[in-house]
């Protein structure tokens, strides 16, 4: 097609030959700067003149002089070539800026205590942290595999091959109660004792409750859900206000004098972990390495084998 003429040739080589000749006034000088032969530069300029259907140069003695179309083209083409030549440096600076940004996703149960403690210890002068909450394991898996996520802290039912995995300590279940609650002084609770409690549950998926519910059903324990709230991160505040109690895991918040956590036994344990992109992505970013160090994890994990659901 007529409008596709610019696709038929190496336009950047033509413009480079033209601009170097236009600035120096000599094809020989342009050839030396471009590491080409003088006939090659001449051919590139003739091709460009043929494509544009105009004369760009006229010879005046030993030098080539720009014609009006050539002067107009030089004014347009020089900034373009300068931008192209600067692409490697711009990409290097962009990569450095991206390396200073940690893209982190976390399962909601880790947001109340474990994750904030780690974030407080980060060296923030290294960059910025972007945290998203994932209540479904499918999206962080896709983002990790595509390189759009640096770390995912949570639990995956199916772990795709190639993802790197660092396990966190096993998480047991606990009952989060107000400090003045009758169960607060207890050293341990049996699952049956939850029948007398007013439970608070998130509207979203809540892995600690999903782990405990089959055990309660197996033992015939009937529970009362007193309140449902929007997110697990709001559980500590609701419990502290005396609205009920909540089932959490070992990564529940601590250090709040208004709250107490009592272990539930027996109860199934679940291992959270930190997932990283495939090995082909190389070592984690400096800020990601700092995060893993604070979590007590190695920074050069191996690949995780596929685990069936």
The first and second tokens of residue 15, run together, are 């413009």
State which H helix or E strand residue 69 sits in: helix 68-85
Tens digits of residue pLDDT in 241-286: 999 999 998 776 667 889 999 999 998 887 788 988 886 556 677 7
Cβ-contact 263, 173 below 8 angstroms? yes
Rounded (10°) CA dihedral 288, 289, 293, 296: 70
Tens digits of residue pLDDT in 110-146: 876 788 888 888 766 656 788 887 767 677 888 888 8
Report the C-alpha gap between 110 and 99 in whole angstroms: 24
The first and second tokens of residue 73, run together, are 């083209």
Report the C-alpha gap between 160 and 304 in whole angstroms: 8
The first and second tokens of residue 126, run together, are 């290294």
Asked if the model's pLDDT at residue 307 lies above 60, the reply is no
Asked if the model's pLDDT at residue 215 lies above 50, the reply is yes
* Average pLDDT over all residues of the chain: 83
Confidence grade of residue 26 (pLDDT, cut at 50, 70, 90): very high
Tens digits of residue pLDDT in 278-302: 865 566 777 888 888 888 886 554 4
The closest alpha carbon to 209, from 219, 223, 188, 230, belongs to 223
For the chain, which domains are there? 2-85 (1.10.10.10), 101-169+271-294 (3.40.190.10), 173-263 (3.40.190.10)
Cis peptide before 163 (omega within 30 of 0): no
């Amino acid at each position: 097609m007529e409008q596709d003429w610019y696709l038929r040739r190496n336009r950047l080589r033509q413009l480079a030959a033209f601009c170097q000749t236009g600035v120096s006034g000599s094809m020989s000088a342009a050839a030396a700067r471009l590491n080409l032969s003088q006939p090659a530069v001449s051919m590139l300029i003739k091709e460009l003149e043929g494509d544009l259907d105009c004369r760009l140069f006229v010879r005046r003695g030993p030098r080539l002089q720009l014609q009006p179309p050539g002067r107009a083209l030089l004014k347009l083409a020089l900034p373009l070539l300068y931008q192209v030549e600067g692409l490697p440096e711009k990409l290097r600076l962009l990569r450095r800026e991206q390396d200073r940004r940690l893209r982190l996703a976390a399962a909601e149960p880790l947001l109340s205590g474990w994750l904030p403690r780690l974030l407080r210890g980060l060296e923030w002068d290294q960059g910025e942290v972007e945290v998203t909450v994932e209540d479904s394991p499918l999206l962080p898996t896709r983002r990790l595999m595509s390189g759009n996520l640096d770390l995912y802290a949570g639990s995956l039912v199916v772990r795709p091959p190639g993802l790197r995995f660092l396990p966190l300590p096993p998480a047991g279940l606990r009952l989060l109660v107000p400090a003045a609650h009758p169960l607060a002084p207890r050293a341990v609770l049996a699952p049956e004792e939850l029948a007398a409690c007013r439970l608070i549950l998130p509207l979203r998926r809540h892995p600690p409750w999903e782990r405990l519910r089959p055990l309660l059903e197996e033992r015939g324990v009937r529970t009362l859900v007193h309140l449902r709230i929007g997110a697990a991160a709001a559980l500590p505040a609701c419990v502290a206000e005396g609205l009920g109690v909540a089932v959490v895991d070992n990564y529940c918040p601590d250090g709040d004098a208004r709250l107490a956590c009592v272990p539930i036994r027996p109860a199934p344990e679940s291992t959270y972990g930190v997932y990283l992109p495939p090995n082909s992505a190389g070592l984690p970013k400096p800020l990601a390495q700092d995060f893993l160090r604070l979590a007590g994890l190695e920074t050069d994990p191996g690949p995780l084998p596929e685990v069936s659901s």
